[in-house]
Amino acid sequence: MNGRYLLRKVTQAIVTIVAIVLLMFLLFRIMPGSPDRAVKRPNITIEQVQALKAQLGLDKPLVPDQLVTYVRSTLSGDLGYSFKFRGQPVTEVVADAIGPTVLLIGLGELIAIVVGLALGSLSGWRRGGLVDRVGNGVSLILYSMPYFVIGMPMIIIFAAGLHWFPTSGMTTSGGSSDAVSQLVDLGSHLVLPLVAVSLGLIGGYSILMRSSILETRAEDYITTARAKGLPDRRVLWTHAFPNALLPMVTWIAISLGYVIAGAITLEVVFNWPGIGTLTVEALDSRDYPLLQGIFLLIAVSVVVANLIADLVYGLLDPRVHA
């Protein structure tokens, strides 16, 4: 990878992040209402409203005063204070929700990548066969189904009906303080949402990988490998799979970038205390500083993931440097 390519990609990422920061500043100031009205206080006086506006800096000119203050605070890591969580710093509120989301969506992504790529490879390699017809059909069904459509029947059947797993939450309230018992309790709460998010992601990876394998099958080096008498399985996993994986790099990296965002509908259905549930709570209470912090974190995560994908792709395929 040459330095010019690296510099160009890093510069593009920085410019994109700057544009996101400015967009966040404008977005939350053109929304209906005012952040000072989001604080639900009965019988609040005009003087109290003016004092709150002064505290939030809303009494100053939008440009340059509020913009300069916002940019300076963002660069220093100060994203303000949450209205809903009684003045707790936004960074602390978001940090508490990141762990559960990364645990759930991160594990789901890893499972989906392994299973989806394997299923897509077999479907594309045996096009028209039983594996292709069943695998591609199942993948299309899973890809078209929202997370909550997958999750709600699982709760009804395996939680409310069979009582195999808890219905919601991340842990049991008032559970044992023993570390092993806590880990088992966490695992039992994790099973249903993890299966739901994994199934929801597998379809997309499988469909894209199948398409990539179909294109790779027509390449000359695959024909040459077969002409040498190599076993069909070896041709697939040694020659076709690594090359078909190249177009998937960007998709996988961007998908991993969305791990921070979580799956809002899934987390709400399972009452999972992650970023998705936190976003709904912030929207419901019109907690503008918290929403601003969440959206900024998600956007930057996706930009960074895309940058990593570009750099990895550049290492794998030197032709993109041109």
Burial state string for 30-50 with b = 16 or more CB within 10 A and e = fewer than 16: eeeeebbebbeeeeeeeeeee
**pLDDT (average), residues 212-226:** 88
Q: Domain map of the chain by residue range?
A: 34-78, 91-286
Query: Would you place residue 321 in the very low, low, confident or very high pLDDT band (cuts 50, 70, 90)?
Result: low
> Which of these, 286, 258, 292, lies nearest to 274 by C-alpha position?
258
Instruction: Give pLDDT, residue 1.
Output: 61
**pLDDT (average), residues 225-254:** 86
**Lowest model confidence (mean pLDDT) among 18-32, 165-179, 255-269, 308-322:** 308-322
Which of 60-69, 220-229, 309-318 ranks highest by mean pLDDT?
220-229
213 CB-contact burial (10 Å; exposed 0-12 / middle 13-18 / buried 19+):
buried
Instruction: Give pLDDT, residue 72.
Output: 86
Tokens at 219, concatenated: 């390449």
Instruction: Give pLDDT, residue 262.
Output: 61
Superfamily of domain 91-286: MetI-like (1.10.3720.10)
DSSP-derived 3-state class of residue 266: helix
Query: Would you place residue 254 in the very low, low, confident or very high pLDDT band (cuts 50, 70, 90)?
Result: confident
227 CB-contact burial (10 Å; exposed 0-12 / middle 13-18 / buried 19+):
exposed
| pLDDT at residue 210 is higher than 90 | yes
| pLDDT at residue 37 is higher than 60 | no
Task: Give the pLDDT confidence of 279-295 residue by residue, as tens digits.
Answer: 888 888 778 888 888 98
DSSP 8-state secondary structure symbol assigned to residue 236: I
CA 98, CA 262: separation in Å to the nearest integer?
9
Whats the size of the chain, residue-wise? Answer: 322
Find where tokens 């710093």 sit.
89
Q: The whole model's pTM is what?
A: 0.82
**pLDDT (average), residues 113-139:** 91
Task: Give the pLDDT confidence of 127-144 residue by residue, as tens digits.
Answer: 888 888 998 899 999 888
**pLDDT (average), residues 147-169:** 87
| pLDDT at residue 322 is higher than 60 | no
Instruction: Give pLDDT, residue 111.
Output: 94
- Average pLDDT of the chain? 84
